[in-house]
Amino acid sequence: MWAFLEQLPLSYAVIAAATLGLAPFKPEPHIWEKIKMIKSGTLKRPIDIFDFLLHAAPFAVLLAKLVQIAIG
């Protein structure tokens, strides 16, 4: 995993999080809708959980890349 993160440019991770992580943008970002469903306790259907994981993945990669940069 570290080898992948070392080769991945930070700009790619930022672009992926900004586009894939937030799409679709209207009426609100999809990840935001799923987070609200988690807070209200309505994120129960498998398709919604899978959708949340797909939209959260770019943010997880970005966070991992930032941690990798921070610890050198």
DSSP-derived secondary structure for 28-67 = S-HHHHHHHHHHHT---SHHHHHHHHHHHHHHHHHHHHHH
For 46-65, the pLDDT digits (tens) are 999 999 999 999 999 999 99
CA-CA distance, 39 to 43, in Å (whole number)?
9
pLDDT in tens, 2-44: 788 899 999 999 999 999 988 888 888 989 999 999 999 999 9
For residue 45, give both structure tokens.
Answer: 């259907």
Domain ranges for the chain: 10-71
pLDDT at 1 over 80: no
pTM of the model: 0.86
Question: CB count, 10 Å around CB of 32?
Answer: 11
pLDDT value at position 35? Answer: 94
